[in-house]
Amino acid sequence: MGMTMTQKILAAHAGLDSVAAGQLIEAKLDIVMANDITGPMALPIFREMAEKVYDKNKVVLVPDHFTPNKDIKSAENSKSIREFAKEQGLKWYFEQGKSGVEHAILPEAGVVAAGECIIGADSHTCTYGALGAFSTGVGTTDIATGMATGELWFKVPRALKFVLTGKPGKYVSGKDIIIHIIGRIGVDGALYKSMEFTGSGIRELSMDDRFTMANMAIEAGAKNGIFPVNEQAESYMKEHSEKAYKIYEADKDAVYDEVIEIDLSEVRPTVAFPHLPGNAKTIDEIEDMEPIWIDQVVIGSCTNGRMEDLRKAAAILKGRQVHPDVRVMVIPATQKIYKECITEGILDIFVDAGCAVNTPSCGPCMGGHMGVMAAGEKCVSTTNRNFVGRMGHVDSLIYLASPEVAAASAIAGYIANPEKVGEI
């Protein structure tokens, strides 16, 4: 019986010729990552297991959630992982001001690569599947175990195959595609399964599109999301990393629970309404409704804070003004992206339009800081979750969208179609 991409990677890391869905395996880990929320919780557990990490080149710590530190507790958390990184001599400790949001900085810095087995104490660790790696989020006990031993137990996931064809329209990006998919299969439609993307349409997706789609695989309940490694992915890795990588391809007779075909040319700009990422509505459906007036827009995060995302938002905002009743936070995902925005004049566009540009951070995504919402407020956000209370008050409402829909909405004051920005 053939294996999927994910199953092949897991088999290789378990030292087995083959694995099957549902099988329990013990796999060797290439990267173990935690942040300033999950890292401090894992350290006491790690101390009970070991004195030294299994490999100082493979344990990664990134303070990004409550950084810059918003209060004493967050400062203490950051201090604990900072001191641990120094004590252990970790190669990859990303201090604030020198890095960015974890799921953007790890690919950018060349920490992760194709064919690897990666765990992170953050649910959106599945982002690195865009590079053809198996990457998944785990709990703090598992992270501590990984840090101490370099190995972890997994149940081999079943898989869904998404065959992408066609070419997306001008204002359709990876965010629209993944919200469309989650809307189609549901927030538990891929529960503990691998979402494997394939088809001729992949070559029409940029690497930033792929990072966005893999990032949100967890929002369908998936164990991981993964893309095949093509020329674009290889070019990205060669530009950003000196690591060796290995390409795995699914067998022709690999077993999938379902094969789902998506014609990218038919996908429209799509928004996830409260309170689930799968509550998807196209921009055409939204235009048939009464205007949904908003109070806030967030453009950034590990999902949509990359350079391509900010360029798209800036193209909409250039020469225009944010609606007087709307506040906009723009958060580049890394310092490098921030600097590129300066060089290209994109920060000028944001500031001139009336946006607040913040330092790289998870910030408002999980209601941490730099954009927390009050009762009754509505926000269009390029982040990945819109659960009750996710960005602040339990009575606030979050609409997940692409950078272009977010930017158009910022100008209009309501959820708007980027195709009609000239009419706003």
pLDDT tens, 121-167? Answer: 999 999 999 999 999 999 999 999 999 999 999 999 999 999 999 99
In the chain, what percentage of residues exceed pLDDT 90?
91
Residue 257 pLDDT: 96
pLDDT at 401 over 90: yes
pLDDT at 265 over 90: yes
pLDDT at 177 over 80: yes
Residue 219 pLDDT: 95
Least confident of 41-45, 248-252, 308-312, 371-375: 371-375
Element (H, E) at 78: helix 72-88
Element (H, E) at 234: helix 231-240
User: How remote is the C-alpha of 373 from its chain's centroid?
Assistant: 22
pLDDT at 387 over 90: no
What is d(CA 407, CA 401) in angstroms, rounded to the nearest whole number?
10
Residue 363 pLDDT: 82
User: What does DSSP assign to residue 96?
Assistant: T
Common-topology check for domains 5-240+253-264 and 271-423: yes
Residue 367 pLDDT: 80
What is d(CA 26, CA 396) in angstroms, rounded to the nearest whole number?
43
Band (44; pLDDT cuts 50, 70, 90): very high
pLDDT at 317 over 90: yes
Residue 423 pLDDT: 75
CATH of range 271-423; options 3.20.20.70, 3.30.499.10, 3.40.640.10, 3.40.50.880: 3.30.499.10
Average per-residue pLDDT for the chain? 95
pLDDT at 52 over 80: yes
For the chain, the structural domain boundaries read: 5-240+253-264, 271-423
User: What does DSSP assign to residue 390?
Assistant: T
Q: What is the mean predicted confidence (pLDDT) over 43-70?
A: 94
pTM above 0.85, yes or no: yes
Q: What are residue 204's phi and psi, to 5 degrees?
A: -85, -5
The tens digit of pLDDT for each residue in 182-221 reads 999 999 999 999 999 999 999 999 999 999 999 999 999 9
pLDDT at 391 over 90: no
What is d(CA 280, CA 116) in angstroms, rounded to the nearest whole number?
32
| Neighbour count for residue 231 (Cβ, 10 Å) | 8
Strands 158-165 and 117-120: unpaired
CATH 3.40.50.720 fits 5-240+253-264, yes or no: no
pLDDT at 285 over 80: yes
pLDDT at 117 over 90: yes
Residue 368 pLDDT: 81
